[in-house]
Amino acid sequence: MRNIKISYSYDGSDFYGFQRQPDKRTVQGEIEKVLNIILKKEINLTTAGRTDRGVHARVQVSNFIIDSSLTIPLENLKRAMNKLLPMDIDIFDVCEVEKDFNARYMPKTRAYEYIITWKKDVFSRRYKTYVLKEVDPQKLKEILLVLVGRHDFNNFRIKDENNRTTIREIYKIDVYYKNEDKNEIGIYIEGNAFLKTQVRIIVGTALDVYFGRKSKDYLELLLAEPFKERKIEVAEPGGLYLTKVEY
């Protein structure tokens, strides 16, 4: 058997999320459909992270198993995939890896970036989240830093998701201006793994704190009492990007 790893990016705007769904256009569904055509067998992707509907990826990683008898050169496989895939998915690396490599369970680090702007622009509305007032990156970072470390993030997830544990570790959070005009910011969050919609909940709820809609210690309360249900805010998906997966 051969274990093939693919690295790729996608614009999530017109997908119903990453995970394969019947009668829905998804990233996994489109890639597997193309692989089934090229390799003439049913392929199941194992993937580093399943992004929500409308969320983008600058770097996503998957692997899949094929029979050793399939000797197609990997550069030819990459070329064939990109020829058949829609324009909103781009495969930029294909390589063979050890048989025990697993894209889902082996990442040491995953990172997301969330982009916020207060300059209204109809042409970038799918790729940035618009807010009515300017955001000071340093003040927002001070609100977010309480989340760095190992915590039970039960309050920072969609409750219909089943997880063996809701404990995750965030290694780094940074907030910074994205351009010289200082009319948009990026929020960088790096950790070992993330729960479903966790980053969007972090951003949405932190913005509520920033704009005074929730108390200054609200994120601390969510961490201190992870099983006491409190109101959370989910940020829009279009501003979110999976930016790094490291093994």
Active site residues: 52
CA dist 89 → 83, 127, 176, 218, 235 (Å): 11, 15, 28, 38, 24
Token couple for 100: 């025990």
User: What are the beta bridge partners of residue 175?
Assistant: 187
Long-range contacts of 158-166 (CB under 8 A, 24+ apart): 158/195, 158/196, 158/197, 161/195, 161/196, 163/195, 166/195, 166/226
Interatomic CA distance for residues 68 and 71, integer angstroms: 7
Q: Does residue 3 contact residue 95 with C-beta atoms inside 8 Å?
A: no
Pair of tokens at residue 123 = 């042409």
**Of 96, 10, 5, which is closest to residue 48 (Cα–Cα)?**
5
Helices (H) and strands (E) in the chain, counts: 5, 10
List phi, psi (to 5°) of 71.
-105, 20
Query: Using an 8 Å Cβ cutoff, are 10 and 57 in contact?
Result: yes
What is the spatial distance between Cα 226 and Cα 222, in angstroms, rounded to a whole number? 6
